[in-house]
Amino acid sequence: MKKELIGKIAEVIDSKNKVNIGIKGVVEDETKNTIKIGGKILLKNIVTLSVFDQTIHGNAINKRPEERIKK
């Protein structure tokens, strides 16, 4: 996943913490290990997201955004 996520609409479709499932909103911020969606800070390594009509496992994006989008 080499696209920028901040500003995109994302939805949590699976999570080890079942309370997180269904959280949907704009990605407000992203760090190496967390992603902030709709005011909620989530650990990337426990969630699966739907973004860009794609399923993204949090482990696949468990890097700093600037490291991930470099060519």
Superfamily name and number for 9-68: Ribonuclease P/MRP, subunit p29 (2.30.30.210)
Specify the pLDDT at position 68.
75
How many other β-carbons are positioned within 10 Å of the β-carbon of residue 15?
18
Gap between the Cα atoms of 23 and 38, Å rounded: 7
- Tell me the DSSP string of 17-52: SGGGTT-EEEEEEE-SSEEEETTEEEEGGGEEEEET
Phi, psi of 20 (to 5 degrees): -75, -20
Which residues of the chain carry a pLDDT beneath 70? 1, 69-71
pLDDT at 40: 95
Q: What is the pLDDT of residue 71?
A: 54
- pLDDT, residue 1, reads 62
pLDDT for the residue numbered 70: 64
